[in-house]
Amino acid sequence: MQISIVIISYNVKEFLLQCLLSLKKSCQGIEHEIIIVDNNSIDGSDKIIPAKFPEIKLIKNYENKGFAKACNQGLEISSGQYMLLLNPDTMLQEDTIPRMIEFFEKNPNAGAAGCKILNADGTLQLSCRRSFPTPGVAIPKIIGLSRLFPKSKLFSKYNLTYEDPDKQIEVDALSGAFMMFRKSVYDQIGGLDEDYFMYGEDLDYCYRIKQAGWKIYYTPTTKLIHYKGESAKLATFDNFVVFYKAMDIFVQKHFSKGYYILLDVFLRLGIFARGLLTFVTKFLHKHLIMLIDGFVLSLGILIAHNLQPAPLPSYQTLLSMMIFYLLLWLGTGYSIGLYDKRELSHSHAAVASVLSFLISMMINYFFNDMIYSPRLIIFSFFAGLLMLPGWRIALVLLQRRQIISSSSFISKALLSRRTILIGTGAEGNRIAKKLQAHIEHGFEILGFVDKKYQQEWIAGFPFLGTIKHLAELIRIHRATEIIFTTDRFSNDEILSVLDKISNTNTNIKIVPKNLDFILGKSSVEKIEDIPLVEVEYKIYNFGNRFFKRLLDIILSLISTVLFFPFVFVYASARGCKLRTKEYIGPNNKTVVGLNFFKENNNLSKNLVRAPLILSVLKGDMSMVGSELISAEIQGRILHYKPGITGLFQVQGNHKPDEIDKKNYEHYYMLNYSLFLDIDILLKAILRI
């Protein structure tokens, strides 16, 4: 065996397939083996590789073990004279492998070597030839001098940017994207250091190769393209921070303590600065609509100030008015869900304007000595009512008339609806074509998801993965819209999926065969003949969850303190004892509650379940919730906490069947409010 190629894959299916095709061409006539270690990808990589390349050795990990540990898994079973660590997001030239083998045969002192690596735009990827991070090398890199003076030998030693990229040179370190070394080197120094999760392990390995007496070379006789960072884009960690932490491990391991302390200060400052920048960037992106509203509202207040008859209020009054009204308006908008999933809803913006105006007038009435004239509030209200819904309407109209292109910054930042289609049947294909034909609605189709793995491309869009990984796929692809098709998924299956992605802050739409099953209010958007019914389960709303839990705590505390002691005394007098019982909880979990019981005596259901009020106080149950079902019963799935009472429990003498119960659950989740819980509790008390 001349060469063993080890590839670590993580959610880069398309790039991996392209890499393997180019690698096969480059290995023609060369005895080789390819080993792929899949780090728990969810894009179907582990299914496609055996189907398309059955000769490749595939190791499947069921967790992301990191780059170094996965490399060692592949290297352990390698048998080639040469070993190559290759990234999956690369594309080789036809002569890359033979040229590199030829280089090693001509340079017996070479322990490791790398070729010229290009970015996708044809520029040199600087990490393909590096120096070790000694003080004179690392500090200019960390503080940015190497970027300012790339041709300076003093400041640019880390990436050697002062060297000719077409010149073969001896280097300290190579990039792990393409690092080739002899089997004898591996036998001598062992595998990669698994203290590194990602980044730094290639630098560390090169250091150990040099320590063992071998030379490391960069040779530009052949080249490849590296689509840098494709796997890292999908990771849950900050790559910058991981990179500098890896450098921290390297310095601590290989250099003196004094130098480590000095460099550690720079590293930590760099990580802090990066973290602060990342936080600010994410905050601005997440709250962009709110910031625009704040700017527009401030502008409206300034206009209202200048429209008043003389004498104008003082600027101190204006400033206090602006701060007060901004906080009130934005807070009102947030509380009614304007900044949750309805940022561009002009109707919600108008409602927020009216509510904040009414609240401000009430405050002004009761505290008229502390605030300002009603005239300024009224003028500001009309200015806000006009401008806040107005800019939203104008933006949508500009995009629908294609005055704002779908590729513009505004469209991508505010109007882009990154959409995953759930269901690969005929209906899914039809929807994809309709959405693609009507780009004015802003839907950007990311791909398809279904119950099982399907073909690689469907209706011109990639198959992203299976429904069990939907929450992770939403995170990876930054999806904002999910569209279900009911020819592939039943209502109950859709409800089960929605329960699992309730915290992803995505807009859920359903394309129904008919609209009868949609219980409660839903907005409907039509794309020609396709009705997209937006379904919002209000029970998952943060504010609703907060007030529901608050109501549970208040009522359970009152019941525990005022009533439960008397119930306990009464039950004890009747010879009842306490025992635990398991009930079905949400998400296929079980919850444990206390019950009263007495052998050979049928107690009333209300008395038996009275101790469950303690489970409500603990948070395992709710005052109003789903059906209380023993954990011994199989096949039932709950989508919210079991409750002491519930919607279908207060339906009089009517005994609902399973379909009725599901309909009641749908209705309760869609129409949940604090007042609905109070209404159900009052009916339950009247029944008792």
The sign of the CA dihedral 141, 145, 147, 150 is: negative
Least confident of 57-66, 145-154, 265-274: 265-274
603, pLDDT greater than 90 = no
Tokens representing 89? 């997001």
pLDDT tens by residue, 330-380: 888 887 777 766 677 777 788 888 888 888 888 777 766 555 567 777 888
Tokens representing 81? 């004279």
Query: Same structural domain for residues 491 and 430?
Result: yes
530, pLDDT greater than 70 = no
Q: What is the pTM of this model?
A: 0.60
pLDDT tens by residue, 72-94: 999 999 999 999 999 998 999 99
Is residue 418 a contact partner of residue 375, using CB atoms and an 8 Å limit? no
Query: Same structural domain for residues 210 and 315?
Result: no
CA distance readout (Å), 341 to 333, 334, 670: 12, 10, 15
Boundary of a domain, candidates 345, 370, 400 = 400
Helices 491-500 and 658-671, interaxial angle, to 10°? 40
Q: What is the mean pLDDT of residues 277-295?
A: 79
Look at residue 180 in the predicted model and tell me its pLDDT: 96
Q: Kindly report the CATH number assigned to the domain that includes residue 215.
A: 3.90.550.10
Q: Which amino acid is at 158?
A: Y
Distance CA 333, CA 357 (A): 12
Query: Same structural domain for residues 7 and 115?
Result: yes
Query: Same structural domain for residues 378 and 501?
Result: no
Tokens representing 207? 């250091």
The sign of the CA dihedral 545, 549, 550, 555 is: positive
Tokens representing 213? 């007496």
Other beta carbons within 10 Å of 468:
13
Percentage of the residues of the chain whose pLDDT score is greater than 90: 24
Q: What is the mean pLDDT of residues 540-563?
A: 87
Query: 126 in helix, strand or coil?
Result: helix
Look at residue 29 in the predicted model and tell me its pLDDT: 92
Residues near 629 by beta carbon (within 8 Å), at least 6 away in sequence: 583, 584, 636, 638, 642
Domains in the chain, number: 4
Query: Same structural domain for residues 53 and 191?
Result: yes
Q: What is the mean pLDDT of residues 43-57?
A: 88
438, pLDDT greater than 60 = yes
108, pLDDT greater than 50 = yes
Considering only residues 89 and 236, tell me which one the structure prediction assigns the higher pLDDT. 89
Distance CA 278, CA 358 (A): 38
Helix (H) or strand (E) holding 35: strand 32-39
Q: What band does 653 get if pLDDT is binned at 50, 70 and 90?
A: low
Query: Same structural domain for residues 81 and 214?
Result: yes
Q: Kindly report the CATH number assigned to the domain that includes residue 509.
A: 3.40.50.720
Tokens representing 376? 């300024």
Residues near 286 by beta carbon (within 8 Å), at least 6 away in sequence: none
Select from 103, 83, 38 the least CA-distant residue to 65.
38
- Residue 407: inside a domain: no
The sign of the CA dihedral 234, 239, 245, 251 is: positive
Query: Same structural domain for residues 89 and 221?
Result: yes
Query: 411 in helix, strand or coil?
Result: helix
- Residue 334: inside a domain: yes
23, pLDDT greater than 80 = yes
Q: Which amino acid is at 147?
A: R
158, pLDDT greater than 90 = no
Query: Same structural domain for residues 613 and 673?
Result: yes
Look at residue 677 in the predicted model and tell me its pLDDT: 87
First-last CA distance in the chain: 81
Specify the residue for token string 């039932």. 636
Select from 16, 20, 18 the least CA-distant residue to 45.
16
Look at residue 519 in the predicted model and tell me its pLDDT: 38
Boundary of a domain, candidates 358, 374, 400 = 400
Query: 472 in helix, strand or coil?
Result: helix
- Residue 271: inside a domain: no
Considering only residues 269 and 218, tell me which one the structure prediction assigns the higher pLDDT. 218
Query: Same structural domain for residues 596 and 501?
Result: no
What are the strands, taking DSSP E only, across 188-246? 215-226
- Residue 411: inside a domain: no
pLDDT tens by residue, 456-500: 788 888 888 888 888 888 888 888 888 888 788 876 677 678 767
Distance CA 494, CA 422 (A): 10
Distance CA 384, CA 355 (A): 12
Mean pLDDT across the chain, nearest whole number? Answer: 81
Q: Which amino acid is at 631?
A: A
Q: What is the mean pLDDT of residues 106-112?
A: 95
558, pLDDT greater than 70 = yes
Boundary of a domain, candidates 400, 428, 448 = 400
Range of the domain at 380: 288-400
Q: What band does 54 get if pLDDT is binned at 50, 70 and 90?
A: very high
Query: Same structural domain for residues 170 and 215?
Result: yes
Q: Pairing between strand 32-39 and 57-61?
A: parallel
Query: Same structural domain for residues 185 and 37?
Result: yes
Other beta carbons within 10 Å of 263:
22
Is residue 86 a contact partner of residue 19, using CB atoms and an 8 Å limit? yes
Residues near 331 by beta carbon (within 8 Å), at least 6 away in sequence: none
- Residue 409: inside a domain: no
Considering only residues 508 and 261, tell me which one the structure prediction assigns the higher pLDDT. 508
- Residue 257: inside a domain: no
Select from 661, 649, 654, 656 the least CA-distant residue to 687.
649
Is residue 518 a contact partner of residue 535, using CB atoms and an 8 Å limit? yes
Phi-psi region of 207 (alpha: psi -120 to 50; beta: other; left: phi over 0): alpha
- Residue 317: inside a domain: yes
Query: Same structural domain for residues 107 and 133?
Result: yes
Q: What band does 219 get if pLDDT is binned at 50, 70 and 90?
A: very high
Select from 265, 263, 274, 261 the least CA-distant residue to 139.
263
- Residue 350: inside a domain: yes
Tokens representing 262? 């000095």
Helix and strand numbers (H, E) in the chain are: 25, 21
Look at residue 515 in the predicted model and tell me its pLDDT: 42
Q: Is the peptide bond before 311 cis (omega within 30 degrees of 0)?
A: yes
Q: What band does 520 get if pLDDT is binned at 50, 70 and 90?
A: very low
Look at residue 531 in the predicted model and tell me its pLDDT: 65
